[in-house]
Amino acid sequence: MKNIVLFGPPGVGKGTQANFLRDLYQLIHISTGDVFRYNIKNNTALGILAKSYMDNGDLVPDEVTINMLEAEVDKNSNANGFIFDGFPRTTSQATALDAFLNAKNAPIKAMIALEVPQEILVERLVNRGLTSDRPDDQNEEKIRHRFNEYKTKTAVLIDYYTKQNKFHSVNGVGSLEEITKRLQKVLDAL
């Protein structure tokens, strides 16, 4: 089973690349952002709660995210593996994910970080905000706040996975095909 964490700041292309990898390796793609947006659109209790945090550019609390993720994994118990996109975002989430997956004898094989300079990401998100319904992409101040949240709360996961010899950095600048080939090289070596 290939369980991977696809990692990087907002706008780096995790969702796009996860879709390619999902098809190439027959993996289940779990995007916490997509699950949150679905719940927000449908005004579920989780969606209303998640929206209150996301509207401010803050991270959704761990316990909400972890419970949701475990339910998604359990719904797909026969999967070849999972691509976790947008999760974990904190050390406590990573520890909870490890405990959950290790109990299923299906540990994380790798954390792959897509690396793109911040100014390119701001431009990508502002452009995405022009055509999407995502309010978190339509305000540059909120975008920069999200990057600050990423740097202060999420980037510490690089150390967490490096200590486990599971961290891989991939250049996220270039054509979609070039980036996918770089990711494939890492996945094929696992």
Residues annotated as part of the active site: 14, 89, 128, 134, 146
**Angle between helical axes of 62-75 and 91-103 (0-180°, round to 10):** 30
**Contact (Cβ atoms closer than 8 angstroms) between residue 7 and residue 159:** no
Tokens 């540059």, residue located: 140
Q: Which residues contact 65 (CB under 8 A, 6 or more apart)?
A: 32, 87, 89, 93
| Burial grade of 34 (CB within 10 A; 0-12, 13-18, 19 or more) | middle
**How many Å is the Cα radius of gyration of the chain?**
16
In this structure, the number of other CB atoms found within 10 A of the CB of residue 113 comes to: 21
**Contact (Cβ atoms closer than 8 angstroms) between residue 36 and residue 50:** yes
Q: Which residues contact 121 (CB under 8 A, 6 or more apart)?
A: 9, 10, 11, 12, 147
